[in-house]
Amino acid sequence: MFYQIKRILVKEGHSSKVIERFSKKGMLIEQQPGFLDQQVLVKKSRRGDDEVLVMINWQSEQDWKNWEKHPDHIAGHKAKIGQPKPDYILESSQDIYDVI
């Protein structure tokens, strides 16, 4: 198994916008070969910026790579070219992990 983990740091009180985006059912990614599951986690904090993790579980690294190269995935990113990043997103990163 393989995990793709996105870390998104947002301004305090704005995590619901990121959660909504990644929690929709019936998303295209769910129909891709090798997709197993997606979970959205929010770091508990009393105050300060919010941290959201999106953990996407794939059967294999190759399944994830196939999704990254899929025309629909690429088209979704191209549609956002030239649009400013939402001002509530402070930073984002992505890491990949093998399950041992």
Q: How many CB atoms lie within 10 A of CB 33?
A: 12
pLDDT at res. 47 = 83
Q: What is the pLDDT along the chain (100 residues), one digit of tens a residue?
A: 999 999 999 999 999 999 998 888 778 899 999 999 999 999 987 788 999 999 999 999 999 999 999 998 888 778 778 888 899 999 999 999 999 9
The DSSP letter of residue 60 is: -
Q: Which residue type sits at 58? A: W
10 CB burial (10 A radius; 0-12, 13-18, 19+): buried
Q: Indicate the pairing of strand 50-58 with strand 89-98.
A: unpaired
Determine the Cα–Cα distance for residues 12 and 25; give it in Å rounded to an integer. 25
pLDDT at res. 2 = 95
CATH number for position 14? 3.30.70.100
pLDDT at res. 76 = 79
Determine the Cα–Cα distance for residues 29 and 22; give it in Å rounded to an integer. 11
Residue 74: strand pairing partners: none
Number of domains in the chain: 1
pTM here is 0.85
Structural domain that includes position 52? 2-98
